[in-house]
């Protein structure tokens, strides 16, 4: 029986006839302990810890990660300016520092060969990875376009360093195989256009793998990525085994394309490497893969990770056993003739790019802005925006019909495989600069998408590239995004959603072991009572639509462009619905108000009540007047408030009204003060009424909003807060300094009654009551004034900063002061039982209850 090493060498031959399928990594005996790896990684970069390598790159190595993960921030990144890269990047002298200490690695290589395996050495952190580990992913990808000369120089220096590394491995260990690691894309797209990869990396890698082949070393490249568009290039530069081939690459198509020029190793995706996978599901998955790919030859089935072993250890035996079963079947030996020189068929990796027939200089100015935005040409874009403004085109149209349209189109191209990450990053930069230029000209904010998203990679997972791409696309679409970073606990997602009033929680996972955190997020949202208010979107390499449905999340997307479109769609739909509801409520309120005013003018209160009920859809048979000593029964909690009686602030009727109010004032607070029209429209929906010329600086806060009426010509400075449970009526031409608060709710004085009373149905409840506040005309309130419940303030009153207004103020008065002093002792005389007009049909708990 042939050894695994011999079977592997036979599999590599174009016309090879291996006697069986290899089981994952069985042909590769990994050689560890060479002095190069230890020296470069750095002595302090230990598992479960954090450290820096010899270049100064900071790494984290969480216990559940299959490998170390770079930790790159503005503070930690090594290369802060690509134009002066030599000042930041210093390559170590490997020969001077690693000339000794090779004995252990040499003994491991000998042992691997004794076991019939290939002595295989791992070289991590390839040329592209080295670039973005040094400077950050976004900077590396945009530098291809913005600083191509410097990038060529840096890559050449990295190549020379890796060539020295490789030569020393070959001289001291004489490995049979070298596994070089460099991820070039996501699960469904290259990180860059194939042309960019060919320009910057193809020739350096040709030298690297060419030397390997010259020395008789098998060239094995790991990239658990979508590399189908460059598959023939990979074979051309000398790669013999592509390890980590994701099933998204369509392995059978690649096998036909390659015609035996390269062995594809992988196919077992991370989506089945999870705790809850059943043996039946796993075996069916592997069996289907074997039947589809093995007969075509030059294929080694294995998990797509860069090294042997699944995360959930029960899976590996199932995979190996299915391969063994496949080998026991009768198969015709695979034979494939040498590939012809000329090829008539190529892999269709993505939809073809649609060439624009219109030249850049032609078309109207908005079309030019759209095209320039897609290309990320910031300087030209700013020039076009300025030209459009001079032509009299509104900033709102420039934003919506130029910038946003261009960004949306780029997102569609990215989803279709016609655009790549560098273009997205450049477009995001140009979008940011253009919107900053347009800010002073924007009156209504254009198509600023309402709502807010919090995004992060879940607990236990330090990968952030996919998450960052989604963030870029969302922000480019006008969505406000709160980035929580990586390794984010379920509690943090939910707490942020509550604290920041987020409409969408967007979470990513690259490791199957971290997927359960997404389920925790869904369940925690239910526990906190916000599940109906928050849409939960998930994504990442192992995530599937079925998993999304299983855990009860709302949306799964498989790329950044689609993630942004779905989020925008959800937010616009949500706020459009709320706006319609608000308008309906406002119209109803206006109808009620008009009828009330007309009835009061005619002194026909009784008929007015009936008419109001009819308008509000609450018409009912006339009730007889209550008998003496019996309190009137009210149809709603709101009626109790206006009657001055105890009510339940947690009643669903009131909670719904407050939720509507809070959504509106949060939307208002997200707009800038120059977005006059947008703010005006929200105030008209939020308040019971607002006169011409009145403005609120923001941020603002209301309990109900619709219980507050503001006259004309008023100005409210920032942090204007109104707890308008009862009616708040503000006259004309009033000015309010920062931090003014108007309060209407009142709580019982006795602590037992504050905690619990019995409502009209005899059920324990938290109850309070409220007193209206009325403010006349031409008043001025200094900063941080507090106006207490039941206060009436006359015309032409000035209240000094910091004052607490507890009593009525007559017209033409100046009032000030905050004397907090003991007034009297609280006694049983303060019980609600002595206030029957407020107590209503509710009751105070007896001492023994």
Contacts 24+ apart (CB under 8 A), 783-787: 783/717, 783/737, 783/738, 783/739, 783/740, 784/737, 784/738, 784/739, 784/740, 784/741, 785/736, 785/737, 785/739, 785/740, 785/741, 786/740, 786/741, 786/743, 787/740, 787/741, 787/742, 787/743
Q: Are 398 and 347 in contact (CB under 8 A)?
A: no
CA distance 372 to 381: 6
Strand-pairing partners, residue 770, are 745
CA distance 205 to 15: 26
Shortest CA distance to 431 belongs to which of 483, 474, 464?
Answer: 474
Q: Are 812 and 795 in contact (CB under 8 A)?
A: yes
For helices 137-146 and 421-438, angle between their N-to-C axes, nearest 10 degrees? 90
Shortest CA distance to 57 belongs to which of 149, 124, 142?
Answer: 124
Going by the DSSP 8-state scheme, the letter that residue 626 receives in this structure is: P
The β-bridge relationship of strands 69-70 and 58-60 is antiparallel
Q: Which two tokens stand for residue 556?
A: 């799964």
Residues present in the chain in total: 849
Q: Are 507 and 514 in contact (CB under 8 A)?
A: no
- Is residue 747 part of the annotated active site? The answer reads yes
CA distance 749 to 175: 84
Q: 84, 90, 331, 747: which is the annotated catalytic residue?
A: 747
Q: Which two tokens stand for residue 42?
A: 């750095």
CA distance 304 to 306: 7
Q: Quick one: which H or E segment has residue 331?
A: none
- Strands of 792-793's sheet, edge to edge? 689-690, 708-710, 728-730, 773-775, 792-793
List, in order, residues 6 or more apart from 53 with CB less than 8 Å away.
40, 41, 42, 45, 59
CA distance 791 to 788: 6
CA distance 4 to 167: 26
For helices 251-258 and 279-293, angle between their N-to-C axes, nearest 10 degrees? 20
First to last CA, the chain: 86
CA distance 660 to 647: 19
The label of the residue with tokens 């079925």 reads 546
DSSP per position, 203-257: HHHHHHHHHHHHTT-EEEEE--S--GGGHHHHHHTT--EEEEE-GGG-HHHHHHH
Q: Are 361 and 384 in contact (CB under 8 A)?
A: no
Burial of 734 (0-12, 13-18, 19+ CB in 10 A): buried
Q: Which two tokens stand for residue 714?
A: 């008023």
CA distance 757 to 749: 13
The β-bridge relationship of strands 50-52 and 58-60 is antiparallel
Cis peptide before 449 (omega within 30 of 0): no
3-class DSSP state of 267: strand
Q: Are 731 and 711 in contact (CB under 8 A)?
A: yes
Residues annotated as catalytic are 747
């Amino acid at each position: 029986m042939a050894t695994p090493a011999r079977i592997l060498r036979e599999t590599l031959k174009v016309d090879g006839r291996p006697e069986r399928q290899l089981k994952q990594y069985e042909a590769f005996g990994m050689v560890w302990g060479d002095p190069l790896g230890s020296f470069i990684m750095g002595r302090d970069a230990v598992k479960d810890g954090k450290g820096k390598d010899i270049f100064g790159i900071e790494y984290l190595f969480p216990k559940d990660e299959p490998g170390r993960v770079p930790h790159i921030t503005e503070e930690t990144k090594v290369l802060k300016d690509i134009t002066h890269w030599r000042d930041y990047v210093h390559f170590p002298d490997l020969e001077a520092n690693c000339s000794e200490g090779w004995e252990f690695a040499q003994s491991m290589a000998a042992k691997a060969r004794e076991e019939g395996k290939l002595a295989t050495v791992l070289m991590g952190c390839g040329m592209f990875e080295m670039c973005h580990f040094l400077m950050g992913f976004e900077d590396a990808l945009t530098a291809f376009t913005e600083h191509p000369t410097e990038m060529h120089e840096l890559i050449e220096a990295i190549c020379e360093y890796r060539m020295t590394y490789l030569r020393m491995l070959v001289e001291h260990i004489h490995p049979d195989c070298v596994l070089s690691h460099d991820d070039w894309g996501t699960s469904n797209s290259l990180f860059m256009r194939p042309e960019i990869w060919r320009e910057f990396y193809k020739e350096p890698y040709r030298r690297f793998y060419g030397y390997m082949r010259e020395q008789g070393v098998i060239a094995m490249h790991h990239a658990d990525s979508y590399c189908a568009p460059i598959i023939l290039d990979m074979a051309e530069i000398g790669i013999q085994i592509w390890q980590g081939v994701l099933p998204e690459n369509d392995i059978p198509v690649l096998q036909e394309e390659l015609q035996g020029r390269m062995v594809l190793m992988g196919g077992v995706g991370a989506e089945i490497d999870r705790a809850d996978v059943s043996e039946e599901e796993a075996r069916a998955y592997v069996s289907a893969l074997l039947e589809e790919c093995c007969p075509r030859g030059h294929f080694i089935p294995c998990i797509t990770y860069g090294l042997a072993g699944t995360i959930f250890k029960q899976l590996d035996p199932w995979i190996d056993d299915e391969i063994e079963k496949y080998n026991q079947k009768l198969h015709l030996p695979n034979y494939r003739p040498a590939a012809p020189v000329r090829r008539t068929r190529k892999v269709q990796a993505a939809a073809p790019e649609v060439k624009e027939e219109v030249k850049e200089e032609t078309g109207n100015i908005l079309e030019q802005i759209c095209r320039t935005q897609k290309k990320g040409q910031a300087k030209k874009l700013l020039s076009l925006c300025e030209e459009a403004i001079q032509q009299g085109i509104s900033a709102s149209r420039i934003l919506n019909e130029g910038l946003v349209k261009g960004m949306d189109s780029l997102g569609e191209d990215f989803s279709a495989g016609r655009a790549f990450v560098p273009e997205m990053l450049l477009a995001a930069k140009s979008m940011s600069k253009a919107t900053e230029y347009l800010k002073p000209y924007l009156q209504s904010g254009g198509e600023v998408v309402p709502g807010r998203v919090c995004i992060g990679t879940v607990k236990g997972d330090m990968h952030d590239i996919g998450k960052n791409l989604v963030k870029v696309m969302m922000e480019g679409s006008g969505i406000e995004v709160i980035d929580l970073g990586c390794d984010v606990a379920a509690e943090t997602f939910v707490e942020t959603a509550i604290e920041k009033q987020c409409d969408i929680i967007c979470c990513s996972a690259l490791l199957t072991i971290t997927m359960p955190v997404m389920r925790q997020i869904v369940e925690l949202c239910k526990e906190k009572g916000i599940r109906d208010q928050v849409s939960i979107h998930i994504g990442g390499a192992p995530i599937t639509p079925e998993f999304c449905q299983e855990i009860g999340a709302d949306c799964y997307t498989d790329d950044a462009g689609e993630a942004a479109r779905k989020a925008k769609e959800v937010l616009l739909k949500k706020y459009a619905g709320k706006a319609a509801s608000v308008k309906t409520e406002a119209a109803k309120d206006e109808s009620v108000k008009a009828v009330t005013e007309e009835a009061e003018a005619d002194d026909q209160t009784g008929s007015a009540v009936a008419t109001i009920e009819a308008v509000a859809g609450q018409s009912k048979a006339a009730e007889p007047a209550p008998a003496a000593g019996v309190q009137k029964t009210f149809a709603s909690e709101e009626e109790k408030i206006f009657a001055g009686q105890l009510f339940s602030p947690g009643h669903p009727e009131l909670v719904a009204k407050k939720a509507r109010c809070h959504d509106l004032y949060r939307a208002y607070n997200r707009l800038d003060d120059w977005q006059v029209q947008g703010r005006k429209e929200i105030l008209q929906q939020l308040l019971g009424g607002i006169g011409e010329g009145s403005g609120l600086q923001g941020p603002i806060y209301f309990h109900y909003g619709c219980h507050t009426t503001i006259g004309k010509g008023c100005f409210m400075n920032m942090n204007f807060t109104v707890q308008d449970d009862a009616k708040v009526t503000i006259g004309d031409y009033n000015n309010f300094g920062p931090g003014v608060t108007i309060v209407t709710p009142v709580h019982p004085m006795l602590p037992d009654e504050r905690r619990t009373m019995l409502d009209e149905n005899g059920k324990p409840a938290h109850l309070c009551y409220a007193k209206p506040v009325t403010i006349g005309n031409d008043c001025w309130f200094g900063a941080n004034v507090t106006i207490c419940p039941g206060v009436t303030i006359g015309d032409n009153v000035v209240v000094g900063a910091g004052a607490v207004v507890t009593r009525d103020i007559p017209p033409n008065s100046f009032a000030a002061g905050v004397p907090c002093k003991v007034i009297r002792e609280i006694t049983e005389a303060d019980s609600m039982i002595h206030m029957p007009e407020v107590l209503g049909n509710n009751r105070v708990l007896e001492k023994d209850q």
